[in-house]
Amino acid sequence: MCVFCYMGSKSFLEKVAEIITDLKKYNPNLIYVKIHFYSKNNYVYVPQELLPLYRDVIVPLADIVTPNQFEAEKLSGISINNQDDALKAIECLHTKGVKVVVISSSDIGKEGNMLTLASTAKNGVRECYKIEFPMLDGRFVGTGDLFAACLLGWIHKSNSIKDAFEKTLSTMQSVIKRTLEHAQKLAGPGNKPTPAQMELRLVQSKSDIENPKDTFKAQLNRKTLSQSAQNQAATSLRNQLSGLENRHSSSGLLLDITRGGKRVRGCTYAQVTCAFILILVIMVTSAMMRYLERESGFKAISTHSVVLMHNSLNTSRGNMTHLSNFP
C-alpha cells in the first residue's frame, strides 16, 4: 500500500507518478491512495498550476481517493451543491479509473450537518453510502489525513466499504469531540481555542482508533444519477471508448487480445478484410459449383487443398475447387 498526500512541486509530482506506475508494474496488487492534496476551508495549499497534473495524471493512477468537497469539485470540474452533483463528481472520478471515491466532508446535508459519501465501482456496478452528522464548531488540522489512514486500514482489514466507512466516521467523531472538549478546557470559558490547543488528541484516542464504537450506520444512497449525470457518464464512457479506438488505429490494430494486461494477439484492419474477402470468394465459388452442377449435369470435385496462412490470425484452411468433366 502506498499513500501520498501534499506535494507542492511539479517535479515531485511527476516523480510520484513515475514511481507509482513502476511499482504497479512490479506489484499489480499495490493499492495506491491519493488523499486530499489541495485545499481545506477554501484555502489552497498547492500551486494552482499543479491541478491539471493531479487531475489528469495522479488521480487516474489512484485506487482510492478521499477528497473533501472543494477538492472533489476541483478534480471533477463539477460544482457540488446537492447530492446529485456529488454523485456526478464521484462518477467522474470513477470514470478516471478510481475504484473507491470518498468525499470526506461536504455541506450538502441538512443545515448544520456534514455529509460524507463513500462509493465503490466494481465491474461497472456502483455502491454508494452516506453518513450525516452534526458539524462541530472548530477548525481541525490533520482530520483529512486521519480519515484517509483509518479508511485505508479498515478497507484492508474488512474489505467492506460500508464497514470501513462506519468505523472511520466513528473514530473521527470520537477524536474530534475529545479534541474540542480538551481545547475548550485549555482556552477557558468564553475563549476561542488557539490552533495549538486544537491539536488532535490522537494518542489519547488510541482505543477509539483501534476499536471504534458502533455509533454510525451508513445508508445506502438510493438516489440514482439524474439524466444529465447519466449523459455525462455516458459521454465519459464514449470518450474512453474513442480513446481505445484511437489507440487501436494508432497501432493499426482492429482487435487486441490481452492477457494480464499484455497484448498476446492482434489483427490489423487489412488482415480482417482479407479474411472476409476469402470467405466471400469461397461461398460464391461453392454456390456457382452447385448451380453449374444442377444446370449442366457435370460433377464438380475438389482436387486439392490449399492451406491459407495468415500470420497473426489463426491458420485457416480452404478448399480450391475446379470443374471436371465426367462422362
Least separation in angstroms between CB 73 and ligand ADP:
13
Least separation in angstroms between CB 233 and ligand ADP:
25
- Interaction of residue 199 with ligand PLP, rule CB under 6 A: no
| Residues of this chain, 47-106, that bind ligand ADP according to CB under 6 A | 68, 104-105
Q: Which of 84, 145, 163, 256 is catalytic?
A: 145
Among 106, 116, 119, 143, binds ligand PLP (CB under 6 A): 143
Query: End-to-end distance of the chain based on CA atoms, in angstroms?
Result: 81
Among 54, 129, 147, 154, binds ligand ADP (CB under 6 A): 147
**How far is CA 134 from each of CA 80, 115, 137, 149, 201, rounded to the nearest angstrom?**
19, 9, 9, 22, 19
- Interaction of residue 109 with ligand ADP, rule CB under 6 A: no
- Interaction of residue 5 with ligand PLP, rule CB under 6 A: yes
Q: Evaluate whether 36 touches 44 at the Cβ level (below 8 Å).
A: no
Among this protein's residues, is 84 annotated catalytic?
no
Bridging pattern class, strands 64-66 and 32-35: parallel
Least separation in angstroms between CB 66 and ligand PLP:
10
Least separation in angstroms between CB 25 and ligand PLP:
27
List, in sequence order, the alpha helices (H) in the chain: 10-26, 51-53, 59-61, 69-76, 83-95, 143-158, 161-187, 206-210, 227-251, 269-296
Cα–Cα distance for residue pair 209/313, rounded to 1 Å: 58
The residue length of the chain stands at 327
Interface ranges with ligand ADP (CB under 6 A): 36, 40, 68, 104-105, 114, 116, 135-136, 138, 140, 143-144, 147, 169, 172-173, 176
Task: Please report, as ranges, the residues that interact with ligand PLP according to CB under 6 A.
Answer: 5-6, 36, 40, 45, 141-145
